[in-house]
Each structure stands twice: as C-alpha cells, then as structure tokens.
Structure 1
Amino acid sequence: MLIHPMVSETELMRRIALIGAGPTGLYTLATLIHGDAPLCITLFEQGDQAGVGMPYDEHANHRAMLANIASIEIPPLTRSYLEWLRAQSSGFLADYGVDKTGLHERQFLPRVLLGHYFRDQCLALVRAGRHRGHRITVEERCRVLDLAAEADGLRLWTDRHRAPLAFDRAVIATGHVWPSPASGNRAYFPSPWTGLIDADLPAAEVGVLGTSLSGIDAALAVAVQHGHFEEQPDHPEHSLRFRVNAGSEGLRITLMSRTGLLPEADFYCPIPHEPLQVATEARLDREIEAGAEGLLDRAFDLMVQELRRQDPAWSARLGLEEQNADTFAGAYFEERARRNPFHWARHNLEEVERNKRARHTVPWRYALLRLHEVMEPIAPHLTEADRQRFDAGLRKVFVDNYAAVPPESIRRLLALRAAGVLDLRALGPDYRMDVGEESTRLCTDQGEYRFAVVINARGQKPKDLTDLPLPTLRRQLLDHGGPLPPLAEDYSLRVPAIGGQRIALAALPFLMHHRPFVQGIEACAEIGRAVGRSVIEATLVQHPL
C-alpha cells in the first residue's frame, strides 16, 4: 500500500465499529484480524467486560444454569473450549462443580464458564490482531446511542464520547434484547435476565412462563435459593435428590406453557453432521427457484422422503405417508401429549443416557436435526399464508428437536418433582395475565391461578426495524423501505439510498424473520465469519495491494 507522506497509516486504515462484543462480535473480530489489509477496529461493549456475552455473564446467571452446547459444537476462536478448560486449574473448575479429570468434548457445563472462555478469547484476539498490525480499541461500559449513514461514511454516538465518531463500516452485533429490570416489579420478572439472580424470592407460589431451557433455568434459580441437590449413588433410579431448606417448605414452582409439554433431553449423534440424501441444500435451492406457490408442500414432500429413507420403521408408526405440512406436528406430538409429562421425561432421559453410553443414534431424531438446517432457507420465500402454516406446524417440530436440553437439566426437574416442589400446567391457546404489585394472576379456560412471583422465560421474540435502538438509522431505514431488514447474504443492509451496505445487521432478534431457527453459538460463528469476510473483501477493493 502506498502511504502519502503527509497522511499517517492509521488515517488510511478502514475504520470498523463492532457494536457488541459477545460471541457474534468475537467471531467477526476473529475473521477481520486475519485479513491482509490493516484495519482500525473499535469494539463497543455496554457491559463491564468485552467478550463475555449476556447469556454467559456471571452477574446474570446462576452457576446451576447449564449451557446446552458442548465443546464439540463450539467453533474455536484461538483455541477450542475443551483446550481452554483443560488449561484451567482444578480449583477454578471445582468452584463451578466441574471435575477436571472428567472433562470431555460432549459435556454440558455451567454457562458462566462459557463467559470466562469468551472473555479470555476476546483478550487473545485483541493481542493477536494488534500483533498482525491492526489498531484495536476496546470500549467497555460504553453504550452506543445512535448510528447514522452519511455521504462520507458513518457517524456513531455513545454515552461516553462528546462528539460523534467516524467509521467506514459498522457491524451491529448486539445479541438478544431483553426488557430492563425497571419494567418489572417484585411480583413479575419480564425475563430471567432482569434482576432474577439477585432477587430474594419468597418460598411461595412461583410461576414460570415457558418450559424450554430458559424456563428450566429460571425454576432452578428459584429452587437453589430454598434448597440444594444431592447425588444418591445408592439409588440409581433416583440418583439426584432435592432437599428443601427448613422454613422453605411453602415453595411451589409451576412451569407453564400453552401445551404443557416438557422439552426432551439432548441426544447422541455424529458431529460434524452427515449429509442428507434426498432433502439436500441443492435440492431445496431448486425448489426455492421454482417459485413461492406450493413451495412449502414441495419442501415437505422432500422431508417425508428423507425421513422414510432414514427411519422407515418410525415413519410407518407415525403414519408419515398420510401426513401433510399441516398435520405432521399433531402426529409428532400426539403420543407425548397423552402421557404424563414427568413419566415421559424419565423414560426419555433413560433412553438418551442409554444411547449415549452405546454411542447409538436414533435415525429420525438425527434426520430432523439436519432437516431444520436445510428447510430454514425456504422461510423468507414462502407466501404469507404458507409462512403462517409453517410457523404453526413444522417450525414447532424443528424447534422441539434442536432445542433439546442437557440431560442433567431433566434430572433436576425430576428431582424437584419428586420433592413435591415442581408442577407443570398447560395454559391453552388463550389466557390472560394481570400483573399486580403483590402478586400476578393468570386466567385460563381451566381456571384462575395466582402467584406471588411470575417469571417470563418464553425466549426471544423476532424484532423488526421499528425496534432498532438506534434512532437515526432506524428512521433512515424505515424512510426507504418496510419494517423488515433488507438483508443481503452477507447480512449487510441493502439500502443504496443511504449507503446502507456499509452496515451489517448481525443481531439475532432482527434476523429471525429471515432465519426462524437462528440461535446459538454456531449461528453466531457463521454470521460473524460471513460479516468479517464481507468487510475484508470491501477493504481489498478500496485499498488493493
């Protein structure tokens, strides 16, 4: 690169803003620092420590909460999660209930350990990037207030800088968006991350909305305030027991969802995933190109062919030949819905643990896990009516499959149930919630229920541009299009009128309309790599070697 004698090298560097330093921001940074052209990169993190990420922050999560991803599934940054764990002291890991001698790549561990890993990796990436000639600045406890696309670049405002900062490109990697603690009260928590961990909860009737891992974790956060779990090796059928503290005998936790079903336990399967035979990515791409009309039904036909090929016996039991895209979900959940959910959970847990010991893969479960990945790209191409059909049916099946929870989480639920602490309730399709200062009431077709505390753990909802917390950019985008982000394959905003291609929208809630299954660290890595490559390619065009 030619350097003008009156211009510093720093002034010629492309200036990149990474807004958010959680997993997506880190995987973006990891890609950027391996580009040939030196960059001037600024990481903005509103939390205390860049790299940690809210879902793994020790201040927002109890140590009893487990991550539902193991080292084998986590794309490495400077080193793998398992390598990092093995480099830690036995005492450090023991503080989190982890035995160093028993570490392995398929283990589910406390999620706050992932926060420590990502923090370490953030520092390592910054060091490596600076060593390669990049100028990297980390702004912690710094909230980005606004972003604007202008003719000569981007302007960014924060709560710590008096004047706007100038950048050439920006990556919005702010992660999930949760209500602030101020939006709740002592009788209602709008999410498990709005002050729940620090709250002194009563040993009373506590309701938890949601039965996914977030709901289970919220229940555990309440339970461990009023008791503790004990291993019982002499009683393998009840190997985990929950003991309620004296004075906390009034604790009752009720998990609630529309269907009243519990998630199933994570199952053994080959990683990396084996290729599908019929419903391949190339075949689904051809169906997308054939047009939106009938796309959902054509894709479902391919799905049926794949399932019959992978597991003909299960397909016959389900009556797969008689199912369509609208009836499949009902057939999938039918037997489970008839059974006692806790009996089903115990049976499923025993099956999963047996299969893991034998390294046995259940074909239909594995097929559905891979199918959700190839079926997801059809979602933004469906007609409005078919997208509603997809969300009401197939989407629920895929989510149930890929959102399986750590087996230890099911063991803990069963221990709470055996101790008389835990109940489960189906709310049905219509219910009303009235939040009061002293209690919260839920009214359903089956009756009225009152709780001293309710925790909303139903997960992240899709966001559109009207929710974007950057007012100038929000106004610019809405003035030049609809509420859904106009995203390119590299996640850049395709709004030429404002030079929007200079901004990548990599915050998961804003991607859920286009990618209904986007979630987890693997998605963060894929998005971060795509965004990073796009920035590098644009930089090489502007400053060829």
Structure 2
Amino acid sequence: MIMLKNIAIVGTGPTGIYCLRQLLETGQPLAVTMFEKGEKAGIGMPYSPENSSKSMLANIASIEIPPVVQPYLDWLQAQPAARLASYGLEAEDLDDRQFTPRLLLGEYYRDQLLTLADGARAAGHRIDIHESTEVLDIVPHQEVLQVKTADGWHGPFARVILATGHDFPDEDEATRSYFPSPWSGLITAEVPAVPVGIMGTSLSSIDAAMAVVNQHGRFRRKGEDLRFEIAADTDLHITLMSRSGILPEADFYCPIPYQPLTVLTDAAVAGCASAASPLDAVFDLVRAEIVHADPAYALRSGLAGLDADSFAAAYFAARQAADPFRWARENLDEVERNKADKVTIPWRYALLRMHEKVEGIVSEMPDADRERFDAGLKKVFVDNYAAVPSESIRRLLALRDAGILSILPLGEDYDLKREASRTVIETDTGQHVFEVFIDARGQKALTSKDMPFPTLRQALLAGGHEVPEVAEDYSLIGVPGYEEQLLLASIPYLMHDRPFVQGITACFDIAGAIAAGAATGRRRRQAAVA
C-alpha cells in the first residue's frame, strides 16, 4: 500500500494553488487538505467579489502570470464571448500584455484549482478542499501538526503550509465615514457624493477611487478618448494624497522573460555583505548597471555625483516639480508609443530587473543601512515596479477632466485627526476636511504578534521571534514543535526582510522553494531568507 504524505495548505489563493501544483510535480504520493476561509476556494482575497469590482484591474499581464494548468491567455481565449463581454473584453482584442479585471483573474485561479485537483485525484493523490472553513489554530503534537477549525481537529499533518495571503483590517473596523482599507467593506458600501479623502496614490488608491466614483457616474469611451460623466452640480470630490503627491507612472514595455543583468549579478550583490556599508556597495553596483545600460540617462541625471542617499531625491525631482496630471498625460503618451513600437527605456528596465536581486541582501544590512535604504533606494525600486496599467492612468485623467479629482501633497509634517463623522488633515497648506476617508496605503509588514493562530503566536513570542524567520524552503527556524513542519508562505510575514515580496510571481517563487525542499527532504534552516 502506498503511503501518502499528509500536507495541509491554509489558504487557497495563488500561493496555495502554486504550492499544490509544484508539490504534485515532485512525484511524491500526496494527501493534501486545503482550507479556505471564504465561500469559494481558489479565488484569493484581492480577486474576490467581496473585495473587488469589474472596474478594478489586475496589475499583472498574462505574459507574467505563471500557468497553473494552462496559461491565462489560453484560458481567456477559451471563454465564451458573452463572459468576456461582461468584463468589457472582446476575444479578438486579447493579447498577452493586457491587464484584465481582477475578478476575471480570480475566476481563472478558481477554475485552475478545481482542474488541478481533479487531475491529481485521477493520478492517485487525495485532495480535499474545505470551503467556508476558517483555521483557528495550529498545534504541534508528537512531531506532527494538527489543525483546529470550528468543526474540530484535522490531521495529523507532516507539513502545514501557511498561504493566507494579504491581511487587512476587518470590515467591522469600518464606519460610514472611515474605511481602514479599500477591502474593509468599501465595495458594498454606499458612499455619498461628498468630499472623499484617499490616503495613498498607488493602484490600491486608484481602486478605492473607482469604487466610489462608479456609484455616481460612468466612464464613456469614444475611440481613444475616455471621459467620465457625472452630474454637474455634484458635491463629490476625490482627493488622493501622499507625502510627495506624485502619481505612479504607467506600465512600460520591456522584454519578458527578463534579460540578465551585466553588473549587478547575484554574486556581486552577495559580495556586498562584507563591505563596511553594504548599502553603499550595492548602490555602486546599481549606478554601474545604469551607466552600462543607459549612459545618456546616467549623464542627464548626474548619476556619477549621486549616492545611496541622494539618488531618490534626484530620481523624483522632475516629477515632484511638475503638475501631477500633466506629467501623467505625457508619461502615458510616451508609454503607449513605446508599446506600439516595442521600444524599451533602458534605465527603467535596469531598475526593474535590479530590485529583486538587491532584496537578497536587505536582511543582512546593519540597522543604519536599512533605515537609509527604506528612506531612499527602496522608494525608487517600488515606484519603478509598481507602475500601473495605462487604463488606470486614463481613468484618473478622465476624473480630473470631470473636475472631481485632485492630488494633495502632504509633505513630511502633517496632522491627521479622525472624528466621529469626518477626518481632518492639517498641512502647511491649511486644513482639509473629508466626510469619507479611505486608507489605501496597501499591505503592511506583519510581526509575530499579528499571527492569528494562538499556539503558534505564543511559540514565536516565547522564543523571542519578533518577526518569524524562515529557511530557504520557508520552514520556520528556531520554533520548537514547528520548525520541521510549518512552512510560512504568507507574504505579510515575509515583508520585514523582503520588502518586495509581493505579487503573483512572488507566490510562484515561494511555492517553488517549498516544493524543492519537500523533494530533497533537506531542512536548510541555516540559510535564512526572511
């Protein structure tokens, strides 16, 4: 009789799905139990109807999405025309660099999970998927783990993979005038036509704006022109705000898969760890890579005279000095021309390829270097890789043209006061009052104190682990009863030392490392990655 390896996966979004897929590829006979808190497994929080709408776009194109059973574009092309039309898509216009509605991507992942599970069962694996089942605790017992839900205990499991994904404030923390995140009931709330403040200017903030404005008007397209129609006498006004007051730029064309870097290689970055200042050593590589890729930009930006502390200010200077909407229009025009002509801006592409390699040394930086990194180079990398779909910029410009959107630079010194029915912000430019306020600054890094499973949380804190530490295969390090069995693939708990570990490709990479560890059977705890 074949012995099946019992594994639990908590969470069935992209991380959980990729974990299942890549574990199946190891060739081991498996018994996998998947737990999903929501009603439908496979969708994932950002792609669910409770947290998204048809107007919200996924910030990843088909060409970048790792396939589960079939590529996303192939799946899209196989969908009925009526289904695509309900999302504003037409079959003849589909391409691999298109940004589609987030809800549709959720449907893809659910369909792929069910297909993957059926295929695994046919191959002799046991796959059980529990929907509407919240995991309440994970408890070690005689070198195995048991999982507690409202229905009782499940297991024992040789491994438990935490793939719980993003973690935002619960809906019950929201009020009629305050939403602690765009995913705290905003999608189903009725927002009146009043002054609305949105903290943040990233894609999450744009999503929040879309959730509000679509209740009061509609976008209309005529050729390439996009306009927003709303009553002329409306009191609705959206204010996006951040310290700098700049908007993200539109997603730019570049070769995918990424071409290798010339200067900033894995070996070169690893060598920076022994430098007196790892950050300064890394920045020397960053500068050399940009000079190699785009000498004209390096000369134009004065890169030779910049360092790790001054680079960010120089990078953002022109955009901060410009009107944000004028800059957005010009950037959008440039990006669309480059996409049509398949032109890559070398310095942008260099930055895009560098951030993940630089991330590998962040956890080894001294505290002073880490503070400097967070204040400077990190912001440049985030701005570069967090470019948003062109359509999102078009929508912002349409709202601006309709007179219902503005940008507020908060500066470094501002005061925010939440009151019962409004939020008041004091800046150098005066007082700003919002009858509805939405905090849309995105996922924050979580610590051991935030762990929702009480026995695991207690074990982490008792061992002095303010932040969970994991090995190459994402198994916990230094937590008795868990370190051989629990694999932490929940991105918010990895962000402290891996600030760029977000998005679907990161989910795939994490799953690959977990599967590789399971295939070799080796515990590699000595090489921590987070």
Fold conserved (TM > 0.5)?
yes
Residues 308 and 163 of structure 1: CA distance in aligned 2, closer, same or farther (over 3 Å) = closer
1:453-464 to structure 2, matched below 5 A, reads 453-464=436-447
Residues 150 and 163 of structure 1: CA distance in aligned 2, closer, same or farther (over 3 Å) = closer
**Can you give the 5+ residue segments of structure 1 that lack an aligned partner in the other structure?**
4-8, 541-545
Whether 1:205 aligns to 2:195 is yes
1:525-536 to structure 2, matched below 5 A, reads 525-536=508-519
Cα deviation code 1:472-516 (max 9, x no counterpart): 011112212321212101111022632412111111110111211
- The one-letter code matched in structure 2 to 1:166 is P
Residue 178 (structure 2) aligned to one of 183, 188, 199 = 188
Distance 2:515 2:25 in 1: 9
- The one-letter code matched in structure 2 to 1:199 is A
Shift, 1:256, TM fit: 0.7
- The one-letter code matched in structure 1 to 2:38 is G
- Give the TM-score normalised by structure 1: 0.94
8 Å CA contact 1:186–1:437 kept in 2: the answer is no
Residue 252 (structure 1) aligned to one of 214, 227, 237 = 237
- Classify the secondary structure of the residue corresponding to 1:342: helix
Residue 20 (structure 1) aligned to one of 11, 25, 33 = 11
Look up the match of 1:218: 208
Distance 2:512 2:245 in 1: 38
Look up the match of 1:416: 399
Distance 1:503 1:136 in 2: 19
Look up the match of 1:443: 426
Shift, 1:13, TM fit: 2.1
Shift, 1:373, TM fit: 1.6
Distance 2:123 2:350 in 1: 43
- Classify the secondary structure of the residue corresponding to 2:433: strand
8 Å CA contact 1:37–1:539 kept in 2: the answer is no
8 Å CA contact 1:175–1:507 kept in 2: the answer is yes
Shift, 1:132, TM fit: 1.8
Distance 2:59 2:313 in 1: 26
Residues 135 and 539 of structure 1: CA distance in aligned 2, closer, same or farther (over 3 Å) = farther
Shift, 1:539, TM fit: 9.6
8 Å CA contact 2:463–2:479 kept in 1: the answer is no
Look up the match of 1:111: 102
Look up the match of 1:39: 30
8 Å CA contact 2:311–2:376 kept in 1: the answer is yes
Distance 1:455 1:243 in 2: 23
Whether 1:297 aligns to 2:285 is no
Cα deviation code 1:346-404 (max 9, x no counterpart): 00000000100000000000000001121111100000000000000000000000000
Residue 152 (structure 2) aligned to one of 153, 158, 162 = 162
Cα deviation code 1:287-324 (max 9, x no counterpart): 23x25x31111110011111001001111111000000
1:293-372 to structure 2, matched below 5 A, reads 293-372=276-355
- Give the TM-score normalised by structure 2: 0.96
Distance 1:382 1:174 in 2: 28
Distance 1:507 1:445 in 2: 39
Distance 1:16 1:445 in 2: 55
Look up the match of 1:286: 271
Shift, 1:36, TM fit: 2.3
- The one-letter code matched in structure 2 to 1:487 is V
Look up the match of 2:85: 94
Distance 2:195 2:377 in 1: 35
Look up the match of 2:116: 125
Shift, 1:283, TM fit: 1.3
8 Å CA contact 2:487–2:514 kept in 1: the answer is yes
- The one-letter code matched in structure 2 to 1:168 is A
Distance 2:69 2:206 in 1: 32
8 Å CA contact 1:156–1:164 kept in 2: the answer is yes
Whether 1:407 aligns to 2:385 is no
Shift, 1:89, TM fit: 0.5
Cα deviation code 1:132-157 (max 9, x no counterpart): 21111001000001112233311211
8 Å CA contact 2:10–2:163 kept in 1: the answer is yes
Cα deviation code 1:41-60 (max 9, x no counterpart): 10000011111001111222
- The one-letter code matched in structure 2 to 1:46 is K
Look up the match of 1:6: none
- Classify the secondary structure of the residue corresponding to 2:474: coil
Which one is further off, 496-505 or 507-516? 496-505
8 Å CA contact 1:329–1:393 kept in 2: the answer is yes
Whether 1:512 aligns to 2:490 is no
Shift, 1:437, TM fit: 2.8
Look up the match of 1:543: none
- Classify the secondary structure of the residue corresponding to 1:145: strand
- Classify the secondary structure of the residue corresponding to 1:127: helix
**Can you give the 5+ residue segments of structure 2 that lack an aligned partner in the other structure?**
524-530
Shift, 1:245, TM fit: 4.1
- The one-letter code matched in structure 2 to 1:520 is G
- The one-letter code matched in structure 2 to 1:182 is D
- The one-letter code matched in structure 2 to 1:277 is T
Distance 1:536 1:460 in 2: 32
Distance 2:111 2:338 in 1: 35
1:142-181 to structure 2, matched below 5 A, reads 142-159=133-150, 161-163=151-153, 165-181=155-171
8 Å CA contact 1:151–1:499 kept in 2: the answer is no
- The one-letter code matched in structure 1 to 2:227 is R
Which one is further off, 49-58 or 427-436? 427-436
Distance 1:395 1:505 in 2: 24
